[in-house]
Structure 1
Amino acid sequence: MPARELQEQLNTLREQLEQNPPLNEDERKNLHELMAQIEAQIELETQVQNSSLSDNVNLAVERFEIDHPTLAGTLRNIVQTLGNIGI
């Protein structure tokens, strides 16, 4: 189930953040806000398009891809899963 995959990827991102990568306060806050949005979307389990969530995650990928490629890779997986479930 794609929602399960998304939850697993979100858990991976959470684990990566617990390893305290060198992020400033704004970066960490932004990721936590995105995670909350993703979790809310999972809870709703709706097929309603929410392009702003995908856009926000894509922006985070761009922001982190150079300095934090592991986080960016996980975020890319989240974007793909969001697309697969129609979000």
Structure 2
Amino acid sequence: MPARELQEQLNTLREQLEQNPPLSAEERTDLHELMAQIESQIELETKTQDSSLSDGVNLAVERFELEHPAIAGTLRNIVQTLGNIGI
């Protein structure tokens, strides 16, 4: 089930953040807000197109790609899963 896969990826991202990578307070806050949006979307299990969530995750990928490649990789997986479930 894609929602389960998305939740697993979100858990991976949460674990990565618990390892306290060198992020600014703003970056950490932005990621937590993004994770909350993703969790809300999973809970709703909506099949409507919500490009703002995907756009937000894509922007986060670009933001973290150079300095935090592991986080960016997990975010890329989240984008892929969102696409697979029609979000």
1:70 aligned partner, one-letter code: A
1:54 aligned partner, one-letter code: S
2:82 aligned partner, one-letter code: L
Scaled by the length of structure 2, the TM-score of the pair is: 1.00
**Aligned structure 1 segments of 4 or more residues deviating by more than 2 angstroms:** none
How far apart are the structure 1 equivalents of 2:16 and 2:58? 18
Q: 1:86 is paired with a residue of what secondary structure? A: coil
Q: Once the two structures are aligned, what percentage of the paired residues are identical?
A: 84
* Deviation by residue 1:1-35 (Cα, 9 ceiling, x = unmatched): 00000000000000000000000000000000000
Task: Figure out how many residues of one structure are paired with residues of the other and give that number.
Answer: 87
How far apart are the structure 2 equivalents of 1:72 and 1:7? 16
Quick check: 1:46 aligned with 2:46?
yes
What is the root-mean-square deviation in Å for CA atoms of aligned residues? 0.2
How far apart are the structure 2 equivalents of 1:26 and 1:34? 12
Please, which runs of 5 or more residues in structure 1 have no aligned partner? none
Query: 1:1-16 maps to which residues of 2 (within 5 A)?
Result: 1-16=1-16
How far apart are the structure 2 equivalents of 1:61 and 1:46? 23
Quick check: 1:70 aligned with 2:34?
no
Scaled by the length of structure 1, the TM-score of the pair is: 1.00
Please, which runs of 5 or more residues in structure 2 have no aligned partner? none
